[in-house]
Amino acid sequence: MTLAPDLIETLARARADLRMGVPVVLQNDREAALVLAAETLDAQRLADLRALGQQPVLAISARRAQTLKARAYDGDLARVIVPPDASLSWVLGVADPADDLKTPMKGPLMTARDGSADLHRLALDLVKSARLLPAALMLDLTAAEAFAEAHHLTRIPGVEAAALMSRSSPLDPVVSARLPLAVSEAGRLHIFRPEDGGEEHYAIEIGQPRRDAPVLARLHSACFTGDLMGSLKCDCGPQLRGALAQMGAEGAGVLLYLNQEGRGIGLANKMRAYSLQDQGFDTVEANHRLGFEDDERDFRIGADILKRMGFSSVRLLTNNPGKIAMMEHCGVTVAERVPLKVGENSHNRAYLATKAAKSGHLL
């Protein structure tokens, strides 16, 4: 018997450490590195890092590197060599595009091209999964195990962690209870909790939909600004209410409310993207400048919940062909795509046009 955390639990601990500005140690058979999230770095820890006597690198995504005109020799990421006199503001300026237009010249940035980038790739995956900017300050380590123990740092085996993080976390049902709704008094809310310590996801079941026939279903990603605050910058709130209303009218359906705010980048990064949009960039360009892809959501979660609830076929309320493809890939048949075109206004018209033109949404 052991009370020690397993790797899933250790990764959850590492995410919490990075969000608080605490370093973690990544290690594989050939190398090891000390990792700090650029977003939560402070001046004292930067000084402590320099006192170790080696030159750190700042791992950034290829999307961010493209904005900064830095060479991404590793394909999906770049290892920016941090100058000896680089300040905290220099590190944050490379990581965060907030002041790109004010101070566009951040280089020339020198990037590493020799050696493995496996640990750097894992570090970026970790900081992204912690809903932080995809930028990680890293320093090569020797005697990593002793270093981690001496400084009470979380240590992660790289190869095993990378394989684990590439998979969608299993979901466990927590509880379900009757929930009368305005659209239907025959409502029921189901809570599902991922095993990796991530945010819980919800399924709102309307009526008693048959398990042996295609169910009217919607995969709805959480949108605090649209769903709760009535934001006019997106169509999320009207889509949520429209989908529930249609399920109520038909007497049956299931709406999956997935906690993947801002297309999977988190509310803070979504607000950063909004700030960039105020500078003139469209929604896709803003995500890229931050270092993210167009869409970071994991729709495998939705397929998993549907199957856990006994559904194998859906009539999917969506304008996004990516959701259809992922459902089919995960073994959930999409018998019909049901369009959901609601909520267009003068504030989100350009946003919807960008989704159609660059993300393939059927609007």
Q: Which of 63, 188, 218, 297 does the annotation list as catalytic?
A: 297
Contact between 233 and 195 under an 8 Å Cβ cutoff? The reply is no
Sign of CA dihedral 218, 222, 227, 231: negative
Rounded distance between C-alpha atoms, residue 248 and residue 258, angstroms: 20
Determine contact, residues 222/209, Cβ cutoff 8 Å. Answer: no
Query: Any catalytic annotation for residue 295?
Result: yes
- The CA-atom distances, in angstroms, between 278 and each of 43, 107, 132, 281, 356 are 30, 25, 21, 7, 20
CA distance 252 to 290: 40
* Partners of residue 58 on adjacent β-strands: 80, 137
Q: How far apart are CA 289 and CA 286, in angstroms?
A: 5
Residue of 17, 74, 235, 295 marked catalytic = 295
Contact between 223 and 207 (Cβ < 8 Å): no
Residue 255 · residue 243 · CB < 8 Å: yes
Q: Please choose, from the candidates 242, 243, 223, 241, the residue with its C-alpha nearest in 3D space to the C-alpha of residue 233.
A: 223
In angstroms, the CA 217 to CA 240 distance is: 11
45 is catalytic: no
Report the catalytic residues. Answer: 295, 297
